[in-house]
A and B are shown apart, each in its own frame.
Chain A
Amino acid sequence: MSVLYIALPVAILLALAAVIAFVWTVSRGQYDDLETPAYRILEDDQKQKPKEEKR
């Protein structure tokens, strides 16, 4: 009994897991907007308070 009989199915299963994960991310819409997130890292996290309310 060669180790291949275990290794090959394991490799295929790993690939399958990756494919399933990919399909899930696609259907969740994670690839719908590929532009905006790249710009969000430029924003500050802390919220500054305006000095005074101008309405």
Chain B
Amino acid sequence: MIEQTHESETIPQQQQGTCIHCNLPVPASRQTDEQPWFCCAGCEVAYAILQDMDACLLEELNKTETAPSSDLSYEEMDHPRFRELYAREIEPGLFRIRFHLEGMHCASCVFVIEKLPDFLPGVISARVNLTNTSVDLIWDSNSVSLSEIARTLDRLGYRPHPPQHNDAERIYQRENRTYLIRLGIAGACAGNVMLIAFALYAGMFTGMAAEHLNLFRWTSAALALVSIVWPGHVFFKGAFSAIKTRSPHIDLPVALGITIGGVAGLVNSIRGTGEIYFDSLTVLIFLLLVGRYIQFRQQHRALSHLSLLKSITPRSARLISNDEVITVPIEVLKAGDQVEVRAGDVIPADGIVYSGDSTVDESILTGEARPRIIQSGARVTAGTINLTSPLRMDIESVGENTRIGRLMNLVELGVSSKLPLLELANRIAGIFVVTVIILAIVCLGIWWSSGIKIAVSNSISLLIVTCPCALGLATPLALAVAQGKAAKRAILINSGDVIERLSQPGILWLDKTGTLTYGKMQVHKWHGDRSLFPQIRALEQQVVHPIACALTTWIDEQIGIEEQDSHTLQDIDYSPGLGIRGAVDGTQLAIGSETYITEEGGHVPLEFQQKITEYRQRGLTAVLVIAEGETQLVLGIGDDLRPDAAVTIEELKTAGWSVGILSGDHPEIVTPIASRLNIDPKLVHAAVRPEEKLKIIQDSTSRGITVMVGDGVNDSAALAAASVGIAVHGGAEASLQAAAVYLNQPGLAPLKELIDGARMTNHVINRNLLMSLVYNVIAAGLAIGGFINPLIAAVLMPISSLTVLILSFMNRAFQEPHS
């Protein structure tokens, strides 16, 4: 090792929000107070090594404590049932498991995770697959427990999830391989037929012995037959289904061209004169399959393949059996079991509470920020969060039978039942077929006088040369390029048809919490006496509640965190959802809503009354503080609008979109926000349940293009059902799964960029289609004129595809803005 000294000045200036090591965006959870920021543990370690901090790498890894590691124990993974479900024994004592890992995205991640066997004895091997962000582990169960491996991965910043049981990934893999094999065969046939065609073209000018001519022709015929029957059969299948469903499809003209070309080529091979067309046909099949493959890869969702339900419900539960509480994998639970839910844990199943008093955050289902009070006998649902104190419950239903499970089924149904978009290319295809056939008949008529042989030969040339190769490539290419560019701008588009769906303005529904607003409570306005802040904080720290948290964090910012300030608290009485009172350092304090304060006997003077009204009009919740019966302070707490919300909505309206709000929150909170954003009150729906959101979106979709923008689980069914579902930055995993687009940047500005980019891309697609039509018109003209010899046909075909290719790459959508 060469000794190098690094001055602190040599550290390059870090761009805001990007990893200093690899320049990828840094997740919000890792944006700590001290710079430099890293996007993952791998970068942190690699950076440390490069900075030559004199530390051995493995030791470094062994003590790496990354910011957002959870304090999960993963105990449930040691339960025999878990191993039975997810792991395979490959030799006695050796097991193999695949984990999906959160937050794995670059070379450093691979580097760190594959080093696992070196610093965790008992792990035999770790193979990472970046494409689906998973790792294949082999471990020796005698020397290391699975929970320990999981904890290590977690500590490094990659939360492990067991694989799911659905087959989407396997099906994708199979299809991917089938496509590749088809491409390989089509490519080999096309290439070899092309080589033989060169010989034939050379023979056209210099003369060739008949036996060689025949040899070449028959070889091409054999190769073309392989290409038509094996890889080419997809077009025939598509064409048949298009005829059956009476919907035009690009496969129809393609299949027609291939059939006529193949038959004509065979007939001419037998007769030993005329064109054989096989070179054009095989290249056509190959190029079209390339387009198909691009389209297929586009439509595959690149997001992590966690099943929806698993990402919402916890993976372990605390089962009560014979007065003992044991941690078990969630799969073990069944109706009739009893579980304990600690404060802060996610409730694992639907059921009825039989002991404990607590509050539960149900925002995941309702979108409402205020927690619900739970007492013995109350029903609770899986996926909601127990906030304040432990509960014990009887389980009624688990897994897919829970309310959240049913909701997720709706999501999957919504994704699968969406009507496929009839692409512009396909809409043209129907007209195209008819036009070409009419032209062929016209051509036959024109040349009839010169003899039937010439007439038929010219008509067939026309049919083949107008085969819509570029037409089939135009859409997938343009979409693939746009998708790639959008991904660089942190707009992840999961399926290509999104872009075509966004071509015309329609109606755009926005969720409020987390989409239009920041999604967390903050103190925005206050009026009164600030000397009470330390006491207020001491009292509010006793409860877990979004408003209490907002208050304490804000007071921390206002007066700083003093470690040593301690207060004596007495007679604390907390009324969930209303307020809290108690004696702090001997002073009687009460903090809460206006109703709570008046019930407590507090008098609210006029100046505070005015403030309360003012805050309410802004859509904020007014919180009052009284000390010894006197009102001292009023605070406006709420979830404020994102700065770019108003601007973006104005721009969208100018572009012709109508904008509405769909929120699960209270009308009194939603209405002021809607009026501040200038949104038509007719299009504002508040207090809607997830099922109702879905219904509104379905109605709206039946009337036209409907875009839904949201971030929560309660939006996910609606996102799936909308023509285009857009999930915003920081949303719940379920919303990412359900949406077709994910905006990986905070705020609403990317929404505008997406819609603009889609418009530009649609222009490119239209230009592409126009170009290929122009080519076909020229080719048809030449064919009718009798000028088409196979050489011209062979030159025209690739040139038209090439033009489409160049036009697609020149698309200016999703470009970096010029600063």
- Encoded as 1 (CB less than 8 Å from any A CB) or 0, chain B from 58 to 80 comes to 11001100000000000000000
A54-B63 contact given A8-B215, A22-B184, A27-B177, CB 8 Å threshold: yes
B128 within 8 A of A: yes
Q: Which A residue's beta carbon lies closest to that of B211? A: A2
Name the residue on B nearest A16 (C-beta).
B188
Tell me which residues across on chain B come within 8 A of A54, comparing CB atoms. 59, 62-63
Say yes or no: A4-B212 contact (C-beta < 8 A), given A31-B180, A32-B173, A40-B110.
yes
Q: Is B181 an interface residue (CB 8 A)?
A: yes
A21-48 to B contact mask, C-beta < 8 Å, 1/0: 0110011010111111001101100011
Question: Are B181 and A26 within 8 A (Cβ)?
Answer: yes
Would you call A23 and B107 a contact (CB within 8 A)?
A: no
> Which one of A40, A50, A51, A54 has the greatest number of beta carbons of chain B within 10 Å?
A50
Given A19-B184, A50-B59, A36-B177 contact (CB < 8 Å) = no
Given contacts A12-B192, A19-B188, A50-B59, contact A35 B131 (CB under 8 A): yes
B128 and A36 within 8 A (CB): yes
Residue ID in chain B nearest A28 by CB atoms: B177
Distance A33 CA – B127 CA, assembled complex (angstroms): 11
Mark B117-141 against chain A: 1 for CB-CB distance below 8 A, else 0: 0110000000011111000000000
Q: Does A10 contact B (CB under 8 A)?
A: no
Identity of the chain B residue whose Cβ is nearest the Cβ of A39 in the assembled complex:
B107
Residue B652 at the chain A interface, CB threshold 8 Å: no
Q: Do A43 and B114 touch across chains, with their CB atoms under 8 A apart?
A: yes
Contact of A36 among B110, B173, B180, B215 (CB under 8 A): B110
Q: Please name all residues of chain A whose beta carbon is closer than 8 Å to the beta carbon of B177 when the two chains form the complex.
A: 26-27, 29, 31-32
Report the bound CA distance from A15 to B195 in whole Å. 12
B273 contacts which chain A residues (CB < 8 A)? none
Chain B residues with Cβ below 8 Å from A11 are: 192, 195
Is the beta-carbon distance between A33 and B192 smaller than 8 angstroms? no
Q: How many inter-chain residue pairs (CB < 8 Å) link A and B?
A: 85
Q: Residue-by-residue, is B214-236 near A (CB-CB < 8 Å gives 1, otherwise 0)?
A: 01100100010000000000000
Q: Across the interface, do B131 and A47 meet the contact criterion of CB distance under 8 Å?
A: no
- Give B46 Cβ to nearest chain A Cβ, in Å: 9
Which residues of A lie under 8 Å from residue B50 when comparing CB positions? none
Does any Cβ of A come within 8 Å of B111's Cβ?
yes
Does B613 touch A at the CB level, under 8 Å?
no
Q: A51 contacts which chain B residues (CB < 8 A)?
A: 56, 59
Determine the chain B residues whose CB is within 8 A of the CB of A47 once the complex forms: 118
- Tell me whether B57 is interfacial, beta carbon within 8 Å: yes
Number of interface residues of A (CB under 8 A): 32
List chain B residues, Cβ under 8 A from A16.
Answer: 188
A29 to B181, CA, bound (A): 12
Query: Which B170-211 residues sit within 8 Å CB-CB of chain A?
Result: 173, 176-177, 180-181, 184-185, 188, 191-192, 195, 211
Q: Is the CB of A42 within 8 A of B107?
A: yes
CB < 8 Å neighbour of B184 from A5, A26, A32, A49: A26
B188 touches A18 (CB 8 A): yes
**Inter-chain contact A50/B111, CB cutoff 8 Å:** no
Query: Which of the listed residues B63, B110, B118, B131 has the most CB atoms from chain A within 10 Å of its own CB?
Result: B110
- Closest B residue by C-beta to A22: B184
Give A4 to B115 CA distance when docked, in angstroms.
Answer: 56
User: Which residues of A lie under 8 Å from residue B59 when comparing CB positions?
Assistant: 50-52, 54
Please tell me if the beta carbons of A33 and B57 are within 8 angstroms of each other in the complex: no
Compute how far the CA of A52 lies from the CA of B106 in the bound complex, rounded to whole angstroms. Answer: 29
Give the residue of A23, A40, A49 whose beta carbon is less than 8 angstroms from that of B181: A23
- Per the 8 Å Cβ criterion, residues 39-58 of B in contact with A are 56-58
Contacts of A43 in B (CB 8 A): 111, 114-115
Query: Could you mark each residue 78-119 of chain B with 1 if its beta carbon is under 8 Å from any beta carbon of chain A, else 0?
Result: 000000000000000000000000000011001100110011
CA distance A29 to B132 in the complex (A): 14
In the bound complex, CA of A16 to CA of B90 (Å): 37
Q: Contacts A48-B58, A52-B59: A2 and B212 contacting too (C-beta < 8 A)? A: yes
Residues of B within 8 A of A31 (CB): 176-177, 180
- Please determine whether B131 and A34 come into contact, CB atoms closer than 8 angstroms: yes
Chain B nearest CB from A13 CB (Å) reads 11
B-chain residues with CB within 8 Å of residue A2 when the two chains form the complex: 211-212
Are A39 and B130 in contact (CB-based, < 8 A)?
A: yes
Contacts of B195 in A (CB 8 A): 11
Bound-state Cα–Cα, A36 to B63, Å: 26
A29 to B216, CA, bound (A): 36
The answer to whether B181 touches A39, judged by C-beta atoms less than 8 angstroms apart, is no
Tell me whether B180 and A48 are in contact (CB under 8 A): no
Contacts A26-B177, A36-B131, A48-B56 given; indicate if A4 touches B215 (C-beta within 8 A). Answer: yes
Residues of chain A within 8 A (CB-CB) of B132 are: 33
Contact B130 A33 (CB under 8 A): yes
Distance in Å from the Cβ of A36 to the closest Cβ of chain B? 4
A15 touches B192 (CB 8 A): yes
Could you name 9 residue pairs across A and B whose Cβ atoms are closer than 8 Å?
A8-B219, A19-B188, A31-B177, A32-B173, A43-B115, A50-B56, A50-B59, A51-B56, A54-B62
Q: Which 9 A-B pairs have the closest CB atoms?
A: A39-B107, A35-B130, A50-B58, A22-B184, A36-B130, A39-B110, A19-B188, A33-B129, A26-B180
